[in-house]
Amino acid sequence: AAADPTAYFAEVIAADQKVEPRDWMPEAYRATLIRQIAQHAHSEIIGMQPEGNWITRAPSLKRKAILLAKVQDEAGHGLYLYAAAETLGVSRDELVDLLLAGRQKYSSIFNYPTLTWADMGTIGWLVDGAAIVNQVPLCRCSYGPYARAMIRICKEESFHQRQGYEILHTLAHGTPAQREMAQDSVNRWWYPSLAMFGPPDTDSTHSAQSMAWKIKRFSNDELRQRFVDMCVGQAEVLGLTVPDPGLAWNDERGAYDFTQPDYAELMRVIKGAGPCNRQRMEHRRRAHREGAWVRAAAAAYAAKKEQANKK
Ligand code: FAQ
């Protein structure tokens, strides 16, 4: 190993090995990871709201138990990710404060409303499906704690995706009204799901550097294409239509041509003007306020324990 930490870092990246918390790393690498992991953690926590909205209205006890477990998994994912971010020298409290102050982001997708039960199916199929396509390569990300957190998260996301797919399959093979509800839901979520992968490569500010550092392994557009190609066959099995008249197999490229999402809409949603941004943030701020006594009690208990241990 080189004695010069800069050269050693470059060697670790070139050899596809992992950077670990105590290793030297460029400040910009650290900052990029904090930004991305925090945004990811916040997405999991805010992402509990659209589905939490349906827990009390699930159509059966079994559906309710499954949905409850899924939303609890999302809380767990948020916690693993905050823990991964903390290895970079920030605290979870600081990150939560940045979210609540509107200075860190969460995924655009969670600013859309969940209007019907079918949306629980579509979120599983498309939103968790997109999350998996994005996150499987992150299991090979160059930063060890993030890569390792992703392995477990991806296993749980696969279960989430399958449960959503099964809800949609049931509805799509149910009464005409249920079928229509399923199709309407897919129509509403298709383009916002494509937008989850971020701006097109030409407008992606971080991609080139993140790929050079092997944080990202594929570009936004590469992953979006992979997602579309995966969904087409699955939609056929569901008996539902992908709401894109421009969708067509391109023999030369060996991939589907498709209509891009409205990136101006993505930018508006990211900047706070999506249908539910205000509601999501208000809810999170209220939950944080109402949880203050739990945090205070936990801190007091920890301090008391520490005192007792010193004796
Ligand atoms: N929403 O230069 P790029 C889930 C921002 S899955 C909001 O391309 P980058 C599971 C971006 O931050 C969802 N902001 O950025 C679940 C940057 O702004 P900044 C969470 C977006 O980082 C399912 C600017 O635009 N997954 O939670 C979005 O290289 C169901 C320029 O963009 C992750 O976070 C967007 N869609 O690539 C839970 C995965 N796209 O920071 C509950 C990890 C872009 O300079 C229920 N993250 N921006 O102010 C990533 O892979 C990357 O960060 C990307 C963006 C691909 C999202």
Q: Residue 1 pLDDT > 60, yes or no?
A: no
Look at residue 49 and tell me whether its pLDDT is greater than 90: yes
Asked if 160 and 128 touch (Cβ cutoff 8 Å), the reply is yes
Question: pLDDT digits over 137-146, tens only?
Answer: 999 999 999 9
204 lines ligand 1 (CB under 6 A): yes
Of 32, 33, 37, 39, best ligand 1 pocket probe by most atoms within 8 Å of the beta carbon: 39
What amino acid is encoded at 173 in this protein?
H
- Tell me the average pLDDT across 197-202: 98
Is the minimum distance from the CB of 193 to ligand 1 under 6 angstroms? no
Q: pLDDT class for 294, splitting at 50, 70, 90? A: very high
Q: Is residue 270 lining ligand 1, measured as CB closer than 6 Å?
A: yes
Q: Which atom of ligand 1 is nearest to the CA of 107?
A: 1
Give the model confidence (pLDDT) of 61-70 as tens digits.
Answer: 999 999 999 9
CA of 170 to the centre of ligand 1 (A): 31
Closest by Cα among 59, 50, 198 to 122? 50
The position carrying tokens 């200075």 is 103
Atom 39 in ligand 1: residue holding the nearest Cα? 40
Specify the pLDDT at position 311: 81
Residue 103 confidence (pLDDT) above 70:
yes
Does residue 92's CB lie within 6 angstroms of at least one atom of ligand 1?
no
* pTM of the entire predicted model: 0.96
Nearest Cα neighbor of 269 from 113, 71, 96 is 113
Q: Closest Cα partner for 70 from 96, 36, 47, 89? A: 47
Q: Which residue from 37, 193, 50 is spatially nearest to 108, judged by alpha carbons?
A: 193
Average pLDDT, stretch 286-299? Answer: 97
Distance CA 284, CA 281 (A): 5
Cβ(196) – ligand 1 distance below 6 Å? yes
Question: Can you give the pLDDT at residue 192?
Answer: 98
pLDDT higher than threshold 70 for residue 15: yes
**Which atom of ligand 1 is nearest the CA belonging to 197?**
56
Query: Is residue 283 pLDDT above 80, yes or no?
Result: yes
Give pLDDT, residue 3.
75
Atom of ligand 1 nearest to the CA of 51: 46
The pLDDT assigned to 23 comes to 96
The predicted model gives 157-175 an average pLDDT of 97
CA of 140 from ligand 1 middle (Å) equals 17
> Quick one: pLDDT band at residue 105, thresholds 50, 70, 90?
very high
- The minimum-distance atom of ligand 1 relative to the CA of 205 is 2
pLDDT for position 249: 98
Task: Check residue 2 and give its pLDDT.
Answer: 54
d(CA 26, CA 153): 27
Residue 95 has a CB neighbour count (10 Å cut-off) of: 21
Q: Which residue has the least CA distance to atom 40 on ligand 1? A: 198
Q: Is the pLDDT of residue 276 over 80?
A: yes
The pLDDT > 90 percentage for the chain reads 98
The ligand 1 atom at the shortest distance from the C-alpha of residue 40 is 34
User: What is the full DSSP assignment across 244-305?
Assistant: -TT-EEETTTTEEE-PPP-HHHHHHIIIIISTTHHHHHHHHHHHHHHTHHHHHHHHHHHHHH
- pLDDT tops 60 at residue 151: yes
CB of 40 sitting under 6 A from ligand 1: yes
ipTM over 0.90: yes
d(CA 44, CA 57): 21
